[in-house]
Amino acid sequence: MSVDAVVARIAQLNSVLAPQPATPVSTPQTAAPANATFASLMGQAASGTAATTALPATGGTPAGQAMVNLARQEVGVAEQPPGSNDSPRIAQYRQATAGSGVGPWCAYFVSWAARSVGAPLGEQGQGFGSVAQVWDWAQRSGKAIPAGTQPPQTGDLIVWGGRHIGMVESVDPDGTIHTIEGNSSDRVSQRTYGPDGGGATGFVRLG
């Protein structure tokens, strides 16, 4: 075999045996929204809601954030018939409160939401059907925040005397308060108030 043939054979073997660069494999990534919190993503995962389409709660305690994520899914639930204080879904809210019966259900709604996220209302987690009972318990347990003493946070319960209760969905930089409330116009409704919360008595912080 000639020298030229030997050199050509060696070059051929080197090209076969030389390591080849790996072809990079791209793995698709799903990015979470920049403002998503760990608790809100956990709540969305539990509910089967995609993080890219849901509106995550911000601020507040983990229990409060989870309550808001849950309550958002209930917006629009209405009494059947209107004015009856009842419907199949509202009956489920009442199950979170010991000794409950058909009647005004704003306190049943927040009791249900709190119990569902592992932060039940009451010393024994019994829930409340009375707004006044919620506020009394909050004062006994150190969870009550009188209006004007500090700004509310996402997931705080918002209390108007013994008349009505809801939960804070979010608070704008200018102090505007957005809420989710059961038994508001016979349904679960979203409302907006000024920084005074529409004359709110105070807030209850869970967790």
Nearest to 129 by CA among 162, 95, 165, 100: 100
- Average of pLDDT values for 158-171? 98
Map out the domains of the chain as residue ranges: 55-204
Question: Which tokens is 52 given?
Answer: 């890219």
Show the DSSP H helices in 48-100 as ranges. Answer: 62-72, 88-94
Give the tens place of pLDDT for each residue, 134-159.
999 999 999 999 999 999 999 999 99
Please determine, for residue 109, whether its predicted confidence score (pLDDT) is greater than 80. yes
What is residue 155's predicted lDDT score, i.e. its pLDDT? 98
Please determine, for residue 5, whether its predicted confidence score (pLDDT) is greater than 90. no
Q: Tell me the β-bridge partners of 171.
A: 177
55-204 CATH fold: endopeptidase fold (from Nostoc punctiforme) (3.90.1720)
